[in-house]
Structure 1
Amino acid sequence: MELEFVRTFVAVVDEGRFQEAAAELGVSQQAVSKRVVALERELGVRLFTRTARGAALTDDGVAFLPHARELLAAGERAVAAVRPGRRPLRVDVLNRRIKVAELVRQFHLACPDVQLDIMTLGPDTAATVAAIAEGGVDATFRAVPAGELPGGVVSTWVYDEPHELLVGPRHALADHTDVSLHELAEHRVWMPDMSPATEWGGYYRELAAEFGLTIDVDGPNFGNEAMLDEIAASAELATFVGEGSRYFWPEHYDLRRIPVVDPAPLYPHFLVWRRKHPHPALALLREHLVPDRDSRRTRGVWLPGWGQTGIRADSPGVSAP
């Protein structure tokens, strides 16, 4: 259905006469008449009857009018959704608890005039990158090596997130100020229902293989609150959390977040966006997020194979598989 015909129909209703509608639309009265006739032909009904006082709606015209107005409103929303500078900057994060979500929040505080639409598209990285290429999303944070990707998509390193071990007060490591990966080989790390198909599943599989860790993925995941309940009451359960991730629990749980060191495992976050026709505010986001590559930590750390983009192979202190 031609929206211009619908717009003409609504103009006639609002102005009351074909001539006034033509003046409002900036076209001839003949053009208005032709558009209305074409719309009536498509609908198979009469929308107006002409009277001495102007154009009166038929019963079918009355029934069609609210839908016509909604069609025009939907068209305006559709245009606004894709017009650069008039729609929000759409940014995907895996969840709102992790560090990169906080980085985006800090960007919002620094640039409050930029409208943001924070999305959580789920764990399928390939589907999310495809959404970037198709223009459904402006940017995402994913475990994608830096460089050019298919579909005109670009990835660049943003942030390396250190790990902490989260334990309850009864755990053998509860009073440690830090814990080495080699010490952790003697303890079970519980990450229930972690799918090996996810990007973080691949990360922890690589980490466990490198340092002989036991990562237990058994059991359903009933959510963070239930997991924190069990860790607080256990002398054996522990889990990994990102240094910048946000978790909250009752004070009496007395949970401890212990830095993991020697080497410190880092989870690399990469900003992914589309090079062609980017949102105007994307440059501001990139400027806010992307630091100098020379600031990357290279000593006493461990990075997965896909996360070492931009680090020289001979950099001392970088452990790699």
Structure 2
Amino acid sequence: MATGLLALLDDIAALVKVSAASLDDVPTQVAKTTGKVSGIVIDDTAVTPKYVVGLDPSRELSIIFQIAKKSVINKLLILAPAALLLGFFAPWAITPILMLGGSYLCYEGYEKVHSMFSKHPEDHDQPTEGIETITPEELEKERVGSAVRTDLILSAEIMAIAYATVADKPLLNQIAVMVSVAVFITAAVYGFVGLIVKADDIGVHMAQDKFHPATQKIGRGIVKSMPHFLSFLGYVGTAAMLWVGAEIIAHGLPFLHHPLESLEHSLSGIPALAWVVKVVVLALGGVVLGFFIDKIVRLVRPLFKKG
């Protein structure tokens, strides 16, 4: 009996060692996953600040916290379990779901590009009669809801990519990586968003007379540069949305993925150039795909309205 107990303890110790060795690889896998979803993270960071524009500045951080809280809950309690269940019962569905999300990103990216180059002066002459007014509280609730819906789509892509990265790993590893990615990315994105939306307040504070002239100059520079920075961030977010969406789709279609790999390999001697060329090609491909999706949506939408 003692021998059996010792053998059992040896088995438990071996299992613990294997689990520990497996978990030691989690930081590497988290870093790998974070790199793969960097485009989506950039887009999420670039999109979110617009949801607090025009609201009470004293409520900005509270609104961002509400969005971040719902984002991490969605990732941990809905999206991560859904990805694990799909991976166990229907692993074939992961790639189509990723490609569907990639198509949505291309469509959204194309809409943003189209709006940048489409001018509608007549929009400024629309009558204001009959426009419904809402309270600041209702507007805040509406903004938070809209931000959470957008974040849900981007978060679904993040968690699906995270699962695809560790699909061949033990279940404990998969859970550890997905939980780590969910918490780390949410904290990073919304922490940076909070810093962005309060940067002008920080600049105003630094520009006060009680500080050194050099500090005041930096503060005034921050205030002046923030509108330009937000515009630049919007462009970066749009580009990231297009390239990430197109890359997700290309990975799911071998006849697109192989030429893309060949192109990147042909420029492997200059890694920076290879990356830039790859991103430009993918972004342009995303615009083209988004254009066709937009046309399909415009054709189908009236059918739903009639129904």
- Higher RCO (CA-CA < 8 Å; seq separation 6+): 2
TM-score under structure 2 normalisation? 0.21
Select the structure that is richer in helix: 2
Larger-gyration structure (1/2):
1
Select the structure that is richer in strand: 1
TM-score under structure 1 normalisation? 0.20
